[in-house]
Homo-oligomer: A and B are copies of this chain.
Amino acid sequence: MSKYQGWPRESMYIPPGDALTKPNKDTVYDAIFIGGGAAGRFGSSFLRALGGTQFTFEIDNHLGGQCCKHNCVPEHFAYDNAVNMDHLRWFAGHMWYPEIPEKIPMVPIFDTFRKVRDTNVYKFMTDQSKGQLGMEFEVFKEAKIIDPNTVEVAGERYRAKNIVIGTGARPQIPDIPGVNLKNVLTNRDLVKLDYEPEKVVVIGQGKTSAGYTSFFSACGCDVTIVNRSRIYRWLDDEVRDFVISNMKRRGIKIHEGVTIKEIKGSEKVEAVIFEENGRIVEVPCDTVLLGTGVIPNSEIAKPLGVEIGPNNEIVVNKKFQTSIPNVYAIGDVNGPPYVMSAARQSGMIAAKNIMGEETEMMDRTMPEFMFTTYEVTWVGLTEKECIEKYGDAVVIKMPPFNLDIGLPLAERSMVMAHVHPEMSGFQKAIIEPKSRKFVGFHHVGYGAKAAFQYLAVLLDKGLTVDELATYHELFLNAEHFIQLTRLRAGQKNLSSL
């Protein structure tokens, strides 16, 4: 039996009393933060670091928000398990690798996630926020905004020079008949899974549901994607081809450009019905995962009369001020891109402005990633976008042009490269040949994600072929951009590799 089996589905964590602070009715805080998630926690601690006074009201039982509760952390945990399963499935029969069962139980995976979350992770959030960052906060506290300087919590009123709203976002539930049937899940339900799905339909392919799609498949489920438009249209065409062909190779079925008619079932979901090329298709299933985006939790701000955008987001300027200048909105509640770095930075920027340091978020190119059973990471332009913008593109690829042979790459792809070389990954750098500057990097594989954080910055600094050729690669590296570039940097007129 798996350890941690049957860990409670709802978190029982309660921060120790000495971690919490009572808010002071006589203090006029520099800022009251509503919500202690990624944005609120970073904003609160940044404001403290700047010497400001702050109080944070969190409605849930922990700081750190949705990320550690049911978003990033379980997604990464599921991904990591999925890669391990995927590798064992493809490695079996080679060397020492064992066979694993066709069907892997998922419930113990989420039990294990919740166990660690409810003990280690939430405790870490409390201890670091209090002990190291000096934040003052309470949990289980729903706040109501009375006016731009007053917040009401449990019948008491508290005052601040500024109010910072960081109430996040929630899954967008599409308007499809049957969407409320049992076993129609969002990623929030998934972490509380109490049965073993067998046949899964995933509606929508955002970055989160993409990861879970491959996770279900790795666990041995029969998985079908249905999507209104072309999936992963944000990827470079060749990257997309590699990603999708490898999902199909693993048995995932994909229906694009469909109109979803109904989620069918009595009590529990039994099938998804959609129209594809004028034909009605019914895919039987016992589980539906909704990957249909998120919607900001802006309701709290409505009584104030701040401007709300068409997608329920609080409208902010580049300082994260709402239409009422001393009311800020940070993190997912102000709309896309719904990523951790933007949420945390918005907290930092708001804190700086509140403390009198006028600042806007720096205009940096943002790296992005998604999971299948590969890590897919990209920044900047695709090849097609480069050609559209500059009329030309030089491309450096691995495997290279006309050498369609997998290669040993680096950590975590070495075994795949040796037993199924054609499946070990794909990488591509895009160069604008006249300036010799890189305009995009793309990677499918493992272990390159952290590098893209810095490649993004170097891209903005105008990284050229000639400069990259002088960097020190740590061979074998997850992405071969440095050394591949060096093979071309001698050319006066760059050609693709």
Contacts and interface: CB of A to CB of B under 8 A. Distances in A.
A471 B446 contact: no
A223 to B, nearest CB: 17
Nearest to A127: B403
Interface stretch (A76-84, A182-190, A327-335, A383-391): A76-84
Interface in A360-379: 361-362, 364, 366-369, 375, 377
Given A447-B446, A475-B67, A109 B95 contact: yes
Contact of A478 (B46, B449, B490, B492): B449
Interface centre among A2, A76, A81, A449 (most CB of B within 10 A): A449
A491 B402 CA distance: 54
B472 A453 contact: yes
Given A402-B131, A411-B76, A497-B132, A471 B450 contact: no
Given A72-B475, A477-B453, A446 B96 contact: no
A116 B406 CA distance: 10
Nearest to A68: B408
B486 A411 contact: no
A497 to B, nearest CB: 6
Give the oligomeric copy count.
2
A53 to B, nearest CB: 14
A235 B353 CA distance: 41
Contact of A410 (B400, B450, B476): B450
A77 B108 contact: no
Contacts of A417: 116
Interface residues of A, number: 119
Interface stretch (A118-126, A260-268, A277-285, A318-326): A118-126
Contacts of A96: 2, 81, 85, 100-101, 104-105, 108-109
A73 to B, nearest CB: 5
A59 interface: no
Interface stretch (A20-28, A157-165, A338-346): A338-346
A200 interface: no
B369 A474 contact: yes
Interface in A1-56: 2-4, 42, 45-51
Interface string A398-438: 00111101111011111101110100000000000000000
Contacts of A339: 472, 475
A294 interface: no
Interface string A129-148: 00111000000000000000
Nearest to A366: B472
A60 interface: no
A351 B489 CA distance: 12
A456 interface: yes
Given A77-B408, A94-B112, A448 B446 contact: no
Nearest to A365: B472
A375 B446 CA distance: 14
Contacts of A93: 2-3
Contacts of A46: 486-487, 489-490
A137 B455 CA distance: 35
Contact of A400 (B116, B128, B421, B478): B128
27 contacts: A3-B94, A42-B483, A50-B491, A79-B411, A80-B412, A81-B95, A81-B414, A83-B411, A95-B105, A95-B109, A115-B418, A116-B418, A120-B405, A120-B421, A124-B403, A128-B400, A131-B402, A340-B473, A344-B483, A351-B490, A352-B490, A361-B470, A410-B449, A411-B449, A450-B474, A451-B451, A454-B454
- Top 9 closest A-B pairs, CB basis? A49-B490, A454-B454, A450-B451, A80-B414, A340-B475, A341-B472, A447-B447, A450-B478, A46-B490
Given A116-B421, A449-B474, A454-B457, 17 more contacts: A2-B96, A80-B412, A84-B87, A95-B105, A95-B108, A96-B100, A120-B407, A121-B408, A364-B470, A411-B447, A412-B446, A446-B447, A447-B449, A447-B450, A451-B453, A453-B482, A454-B455
